[in-house]
Amino acid sequence: MNKMDTVRPIRWHEDSLKLLDQRLLPAESSEISYDKVTMVADAIRDMVVRGAPAIGITAAFGVVLAARQRYAENPTGWRESIREDLTQLAAARPTAINLFWAIERMQGCFDGIDGDPVERLLTEAQNIHQEDIAANMRMGELGADLIGAGSNILTHCNAGALATGGYGTALGVIRSAVAAGKVEQVFADETRPWLQGARLTAWELLQDGIPVTLIAEGAASWLMQQGKVQWIVVGSDRIAANGDVANKIGTYQLAVSARYHGVKFMVAAPTSTVDMNVADGAAIPIETRNADELLKCGDKNVAAAGASAWNPVFDVTPAALVDAIVTERGVVEKPDAKKILAMMKNA
């Protein structure tokens, strides 16, 4: 690790999966150990781990745990009995395409396994993890190349090391741009209701010595109006074949405001986030979570008694509002279906 790459939220250690519990940050940095796939599915659903790439990596290690248990129970029939576990993993967070991508990749190893599957599947899960970090490093370089010297950057939610295997997508770009001396100031939206910007992005950047200024989402447009933002850089949980981008709720309104104010809008995500089976953003499933996440702050009620709440946790930004999609395979400027297809063929 370099001095701007110190956070790792996922580890395999002594035959178990270790996850940094992101629900406790920044007050407490604590790992939880997992040795059963049902526990891993719960960890994904309960947001112990979050961010599409990190969810995919975690699911890959979850498949290892499932295979270990099923092989011990039935050495000749583990492939059939593991299906229930894979279904449970896939149902944990429906918007994050990396979850399904990772499970399918792990399944692709099944037919070539003779005997105990654990060693082969563990190697594949570790490969997925390391490939993600390498992809993030490459995206960081490519994204930083687009950013001019003296820029201020605004990011939303957390698309950093905490949301990936390490280094980060959007925060990887920011890390690389800071290292290149191009960044004057980094702004982060609070990102309600889970406050991923306030709790996670701010914490993560400060771990690596990168100063960050927190703002409420409602302040973003005014910040742009004053000329204090040159780039918005975000991640993605799923990118449609035409370049429409699903990301944390609030991303769409940032893109609309950025276009009005002449601010550039960048999406950084690995190609595993691109879903070529979804023609456009209208077909991306949008997860809606419990209303209590809005009605409460922690365990405390903050809304008026009797109020209802609508809590979609993602929105879709049309490709027409995106200036650049940055992946490990290259940069797609002004994305459309033709450009996305060409990038995906560029293996």
CATH at residue 221: 3.40.50.10470
- Both 128 and 196 in one domain: the answer is no
Residues 6+ positions from 65 with CB-CB distance below 8 Å:
16, 17, 34, 35, 36, 37, 40
- Both 295 and 209 in one domain: the answer is yes
**DSSP assigned state of 304:** P
**Mean pLDDT of the residues in the chain:** 96
Decide if 172 is inside a domain: yes
256-299 pLDDT per residue, tens: 999 999 999 999 999 999 999 999 999 999 999 999 999 998 88
Decide if 2 is inside a domain: no
For position 95, what pLDDT does the model report? 84
Decide if 124 is inside a domain: yes
Note the maximum CA span of the chain.
Answer: 66
Question: Cα dist. 108→95, 129, 250, 270, 288 in Å?
Answer: 22, 17, 36, 20, 31
Decide if 3 is inside a domain: no
Structural domain harbouring 309: 140-345
Q: Which of 117, 133, 149 is the last residue of a domain?
A: 133
- Both 125 and 144 in one domain: the answer is no
- Both 251 and 154 in one domain: the answer is yes
- Both 204 and 309 in one domain: the answer is yes
- Both 246 and 123 in one domain: the answer is no
- Both 161 and 279 in one domain: the answer is yes
- Both 102 and 172 in one domain: the answer is no
Separation CA 241–CA 43 (nearest Å): 29
Q: Which of 133, 151, 186 is the last residue of a domain?
A: 133
- How many separate helices (H) and strands (E) can be counted in the chain? 12, 16
**DSSP assigned state of 8:** -
H/E segment holding residue 79: helix 78-81
Decide if 99 is inside a domain: yes
- Both 259 and 152 in one domain: the answer is yes
Task: Give yes or no for a contact between 289 and 207, defined as CB atoms under 8 angstroms apart.
Answer: no
Residue 2 has pLDDT above 90, yes or no: no
Residue 189 bridge partners (DSSP):
215
Q: Which residues are catalytic?
A: 237
186-234 pLDDT per residue, tens: 999 999 999 999 999 999 999 999 999 999 999 999 999 999 999 999 9
With CA atoms as reference, report the closest residue to 283 among 69, 108, 95, 76.
95
Task: Give the rounded distance of the alpha carbon of 213 from its chain centre.
Answer: 21
Report the C-alpha dihedral over residues 95, 97, 199, 129, rounded to 10 degrees.
160
For position 83, what pLDDT does the model report? 96
CATH number at residue 32: 1.20.120.420
Q: Are strands 238-240 and 245-248 parallel, antiparallel or unpaired?
A: antiparallel
Decide if 332 is inside a domain: yes
47-51, 111-115, 121-125, range with greatest mean pLDDT: 121-125
Residue-wise over 23-59: b if at least 16 C-beta within 10 A, else e? bebeeeeeebebebbebbbebbeebbbbbbbbbbbbb
Decide if 254 is inside a domain: yes
CA angle at 277 for the pair 264 and 167, rounded to the nearest 5°: 45
For position 38, what pLDDT does the model report? 97
Decide if 151 is inside a domain: yes
Q: What is the average pLDDT across 108-130? A: 96
- Both 56 and 180 in one domain: the answer is no
For position 1, what pLDDT does the model report? 54
**DSSP assigned state of 218:** G
- Both 48 and 79 in one domain: the answer is yes
- Both 16 and 50 in one domain: the answer is yes
How many folded domains does the chain comprise? 2
Q: How many CB atoms lie within 10 A of CB 183?
A: 23
Q: Which of 133, 151, 181 is the last residue of a domain?
A: 133
